[in-house]
Structure 1
């Protein structure tokens, strides 16, 4: 993981919840962590990381991820033992 990915991971775990993280940066973080990202129907993607699968919705029309999704990502990564 490079410094950019570490910054994104820190942003995901920041309090208060950061609602201005770009979705493409979060997907890049997933891949840097070793995840497989698969396209699903509509705006959904499946992320497989440490043998755990999670479905996420890409935000649209704005490129930024809302606070609820950031919180969900933080809880999931924390449950997998991934922290900044």
Structure 2
């Protein structure tokens, strides 16, 4: 995990939840911690690591993740045992 990933991890775990983090940064963080991307149809994407699967819709047309997506990413990272 590089410094950009660590910064994204801090933002994901910050309260109140940020609405300005780019979805691409969250995806890069999840890949950096060892998740495998499973592309779905349309904007659907799943991440899998050690049998734990989480499903998301990529935000569009905006690049920024919605607050509920950041909260879901945080919960998934906690389930994986990854916290700042």
1:4-83 paired onto structure 2 within 5 Å:
4-83=4-83
TM-score using structure 2 length: 0.95
For 2:78 and 2:18, locate their aligned partners in 1 and report how far apart those are by CA, in whole Å.
Answer: 16
Let me know the Cα RMSD of the aligned residues.
0.8
TM-score using structure 1 length: 0.95
Q: Measure how far apart 1:79 and its partner are.
A: 2.0
For 1:35 and 1:72, locate their aligned partners in 2 and report how far apart those are by CA, in whole Å.
Answer: 15
What runs of 5+ residues in structure 2 fail to find an aligned partner?
none
For 1:8 and 1:76, locate their aligned partners in 2 and report how far apart those are by CA, in whole Å.
Answer: 14
Question: Aligned pairs, how many?
Answer: 84
For 1:22 and 1:8, locate their aligned partners in 2 and report how far apart those are by CA, in whole Å.
Answer: 9
